[in-house]
């Protein structure tokens, strides 16, 4: 299996896009470590190391327009036609929700399968504060269109690649505050690895 973690928002040409931010330590300031782009590595980095120890190939994308990253992911999948490739657009959410959500391109059967497996893994790990684990199909026109923009180029790739937008918690919800720590990141990473291994095995 090949896994691609895309550190989204970060690395856009000529833009300092930090994603969502929230004053997690209540000191009156939003520091860099309280920005979305610096919170996603807390879960994808330990997941990357665990997956590598299990023998999987893992890549982190962190530069270029999303369309360029999608093209690069599709090219990697095309060069490895016998292997399953998972592409995860890494985010955290904002808006006080109590859920995790895995968003897939509604045109993609593979994306839906990946989203279902990953959402089930989050639910099964019973992560403190995450009350629900949702799966949502996205398009250019429905209410999940922002999530769609993070993965829409993956559909043009070969059949062995599937992509989701992964938003495991809400940065501005009090019960989710601990998830922006190394301990919280590890809890999410454990669920990520579990789900990805299940998916890679076709479970």
Q: What are the pLDDT digits (tens) for 71-128?
A: 999 999 999 999 999 999 999 999 999 999 999 999 999 999 999 999 999 999 999 9
Whether the pLDDT of residue 168 is over 90: the answer is yes
By the 8 A CB rule, do 128 and 98 touch? Answer: no
* Portion of the chain with pLDDT greater than 90, in percent: 84
* Portion of the chain with pLDDT greater than 70, in percent: 100
Sign, Cα dihedral of 115, 137, 85, 151: negative
Task: For residue 28, name the pLDDT band (cuts at 50, 70, 90).
Answer: confident
pLDDT of the residue at 21: 85
Structure-token match 């006080």, residue found: 96
CA distance 129 to 119: 15
For the chain, helix (H) and strand (E) counts, in that order, are 6, 6
Report the pLDDT averaged over residues 182-195. 98
pLDDT of the residue at 105: 98
Q: Which stretches of the chain are DSSP H helices?
A: 36-39, 41-53, 66-78, 109-124, 145-149, 182-200
Q: Which of 67, 28, 93 is nearest to 151 (CA)?
A: 67
The total number of structural domains that make up the chain: 1
Question: Up-side HSE of residue 183: CA atoms within 13 Å toward CB?
Answer: 5
CATH number at residue 37: 3.40.630.40
Report the pLDDT averaged over residues 4-25. 88
The backbone torsions φ and ψ at residue 136, rounded to the nearest 5 degrees and listed phi first, read -135, 130
Range of the domain at 184: 2-200
Whether the pLDDT of residue 43 is over 90: the answer is yes
Mean pLDDT of the chain: 95
DSSP H or E segment with residue 3: strand 2-7
Report the pLDDT averaged over residues 130-159. 96
pLDDT of the residue at 203: 64
């Amino acid at each position: 299996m090949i896994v691609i973690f895309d550190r989204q928002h970060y690395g856009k040409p000529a833009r300092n896009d930090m994603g969502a931010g929230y004053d997690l330590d209540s000191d009156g300031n939003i520091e860099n470590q309280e920005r979305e782009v610096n919170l996603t590595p807390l879960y994808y980095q330990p997941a990357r190391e665990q997956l590598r120890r299990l023998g999987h190939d893992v890549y982190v994308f962190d530069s270029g327009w999303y369309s360029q990253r999608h093209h690069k992911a599709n090219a990697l999948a095309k060069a490895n036609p016998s292997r399953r490739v998972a592409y995860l657009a890494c985010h955290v959410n904002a808006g006080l929700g109590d859920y995790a959500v895995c968003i897939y391109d509604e045109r993609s059967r593979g994306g839906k399968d990946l989203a279902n497996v990953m959402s089930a893994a989050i639910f099964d790990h019973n992560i403190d504060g995450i009350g629900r684990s949702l799966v949502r199909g996205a398009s250019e026109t429905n209410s999940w269109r922002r999530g769609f923009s993070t993965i829409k180029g993956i559909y043009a790739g070969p059949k062995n690649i599937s992509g989701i937008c992964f938003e495991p918690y809400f940065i501005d919800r009090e019960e989710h505050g601990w998830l922006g720590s190394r301990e919280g990141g590890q809890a999410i990473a454990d669920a990520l690895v579990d789900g990805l291994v299940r998916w890679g095995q076709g479970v």
